[in-house]
Structure 1
Amino acid sequence: LGYRVENKTVAGIDSIVMRPNDANGACGVASDAAGVVGWWVNPQTPGSDACAMALKLMELTLATRA
């Protein structure tokens, strides 16, 4: 799909950050947490930091694992 992909660790879990060539700055994060967990933030207008939002959602999600 032509996304820019970056390897990252989120809350100690191997993850990837995906950025498409989107004018509004969409961003997704997927983590390998005993299965795959993912968040995708798709702003409706430019100017938001979608990656910061997606990473925060992932941090909060991973913090709930037992």
Structure 2
Amino acid sequence: MGSRGGRPPAFDLERYKNRNTVERAINKLKHARAVATRYDKRGYVYLGTVTAAALVIWLRT
């Protein structure tokens, strides 16, 4: 199949499921207002904001 479309020859269903989970989590973080509107000068401050948003998302699910 490969270049003709369809599934790639080495399609791994479990790996795809994990990738999908990670992509959905990143998408949720992007939509969090606290993360999307931050323009911090310091990396550790931004990391704290992302961590707090991830905790809120995790606790709500």
TM (norm. structure 2) is 0.34
Return the structure number with greater strand share. 1
Rg larger for: 2
Return the structure number with greater helix share. 2
